[in-house]
Chains A and B, each alone.
Chain A
Amino acid sequence: MAFSKERTEFYNDLTKKIRRHIVKMTNHAGSGHPGGSLSATETLAVLFNDHMNIDPKNPEWNDRDCFFLSKGHCTPVYYSVLAELGFFPVEELMTFRDVDGRLHGHPHSGHIPGVDISSGSLGQGLSVANGVALAAKLDGSNRRSYVMIGDGELQEGQLWEAAMTSAQFNLDNVCAIIDWNKIQLDDFVENIKGMKDLGAKYKAFGWHVIEIDGHDINQVDEAFKEAKRTKGKPTAILAHTVKGKGISFMEDTADWHGMAPNDEQLEIALKELA
């Protein structure tokens, strides 16, 4: 069932707000990763606001759902989602990458409420998600474990080791979101080490696969619901997205993988997000 009119408006506002944070934060730092943050905005907004069992006032609560940002460079979107939920003050976003701040370029657990593991070396998130999921099964807990993986990141072998682990232990409490924006640092993924039939890969590894438009909040919502209903196997949500989504000059180019907008570019971007 589609989101209500109010909820749709809420997400329209929220995703615009998050995108504004992303360009302002990277502009403030003079560095960072806007492209893969803008592509992951809808998936993370819907996940955190409608699906995860979490409490911003009690981020360490035992039976909470866990999220791991395996593509750890996409902190602009991650921090924005957490701040908008109240894990820390929204004003703090403008300390992004500051030497005396806690919002480092890549997330560091123990510093930021809501961040359970440090990441930034690609490929490590799914193994960690599996660990939480295995512990949850052992405890008879209903907690779920989510991980966001980049499509370029899938070139890291550990993600396929971990994909086998999730399937071997029937971890239906694991849900991986692949932010399939088709672009990595240097170029289009297909020009470097292509994913070919990614859905078939995950199916062959024993996963339930859902393929969606990752910018359509209703499709995103339905995918997370379907993942929760899926028993006996982990779910991979292959979210087709556009790198740099929402800002005309950043869309669908590798140039904005790891580059910050200057003041002039920021102004244009903010106008487009008005």
Chain B
Amino acid sequence: MTKMEAPRQGFANALIKLGKEHKDLVVLDADCAKSNMTNLFKAEYPERFFNIGISECDIVGTGAGMAVAGKVPFVNAYANFLTGRAFDQMRISVCYSDKNVKICGHNAGTSAAQEGATHLPLEDISLMRSLPNMTVIVPADSLEMEKAVEAAYNFEGPVYLRVGKLPVPVVTKPEDKFEIGKAIKYRDGSDVTLISTGIMLDETFKAAEELAKQGVEAEVLHIHTIKPIDKEAILASATKTGKVVTVEEHSIIGGLGSAVAEVLAENHPVPLRRIGTNDRFGVSGKMDELLDLFELRAARIIKTANELVGAKVNN
């Protein structure tokens, strides 16, 4: 049985661990400390925790000021409000100013669940990816989240980190090497490439196993860093398999699917299918129900891959 754990738990663990060694690490939250689990950091290092209140624009600017003063601020709020409302503050005070601020968007994707459409961030990756100087990281599970937080701390420059709230299977391994900007190849295959990001790695693994039983060998590439994207890894795999399916818990407009499409279209056009949410808002529902509703499941990945593999392609 795969262990289930909330990505935010890995996030909190990493902050506390890093906070012990690094006195310049400060944590800011926009009145969501209990939900974002930054209250655990607060309990350990109260003097380095700042609740800035329900004001996303202000908290992002405050983080930029902290960075001017040499701190490494982790700025926390719900992903949709942070990336939507405070986009301009991230654009000017953080990215254009090139400040070392770590923007942590919580309640990511379907983990906002029954809060409904207002709280379901399905556009955050797209927004953050468009900002010059911004690095965008979408970890797969709590274990990879811990590594991502540490990498973000050690990286000089603005980072957007997408943090899920609800428990998901821990599918990565402690020995997996995490390097910003480097894809991880989890499975070799020759028939089709499945590229996933975030928590969709789990369903992608399941799909690859089932496809193998059906005689289709899928290569699995996990892209935790959407920007800068690992062009070499994508092109190497696409050159080998000639067919690509992307899988993300996010809109297909502007997210992983778009990023991969850009790389392929300009360098090595091959048939591509993007799996994600289709230009729509969310609804209220349990996380599992939302993943079903959006068809972010192995069944759709299998069906899509089979269609690609079976189709006659003029290339």
Interface of A toward B, CB cutoff 8 Å: 62, 66, 108-110, 116-121, 123-136, 138-139, 143, 145, 157-158, 161-162, 164-165, 168-169
Contact = CB atoms under 8 A, between A and B. Distances in A.
A120 B89 CA distance: 11
B299 interface: no
18 contacts: A108-B96, A116-B68, A117-B68, A118-B97, A123-B57, A127-B59, A128-B68, A130-B62, A131-B66, A131-B73, A134-B62, A135-B26, A138-B71, A139-B69, A158-B89, A161-B57, A165-B53, A165-B58
B66 A117 contact: no
Contact of B91 (A121, A145, A164): A121
B135 to A, nearest CB: 17
Contacts of A117: 64-65, 68, 93, 97, 99
Given A121-B88, A135-B70, A162-B61, A127 B48 contact: no
A119 B53 CA distance: 23
B93 A124 contact: yes
A121 B91 CA distance: 9
Contacts of B26: 135, 138
Contacts of A124: 57, 61, 88-89, 92-93
Given A121-B91, A162-B58, 10 more contacts: A117-B99, A119-B93, A127-B59, A127-B93, A128-B61, A129-B65, A131-B68, A158-B57, A165-B55, A165-B58
A161 B55 contact: yes
Contact of A168 (B47, B53, B89, B93): B53
A127 B61 contact: yes
Contacts of A161: 53, 55, 57-58
Interface in B51-91: 52-53, 55, 57-71, 73, 88-89, 91
B69 A110 contact: no
A164 B62 CA distance: 12
B71 A128 contact: no
B97 A131 contact: no
Nearest to B50: A134
Interface of B: 26, 47-48, 50, 52-53, 55, 57-71, 73, 88-89, 91-93, 96-99
Contacts of B62: 127-128, 130-131, 134, 162, 165
A109 B158 CA distance: 15
Nearest to A158: B57
B92 A132 contact: no
Nearest to B66: A131
A16 B302 CA distance: 74
B69 A136 contact: yes
B66 A135 contact: yes
Nearest to A147: B65
A118 B96 contact: yes
A131 B69 contact: yes
B57 A131 contact: no
Contacts of B71: 135, 138
Most chain A Cβ neighbours within 10 Å, of B48, B55, B59: B55
B67 A131 contact: yes
A59 to B, nearest CB: 12
Contacts of B63: 131
Contacts of B48: 138
A116 B70 CA distance: 12
Nearest first, the 3 closest Cβ-Cβ pairs linking A and B are A131-B65, A127-B61, A135-B69
Contacts of B73: 131
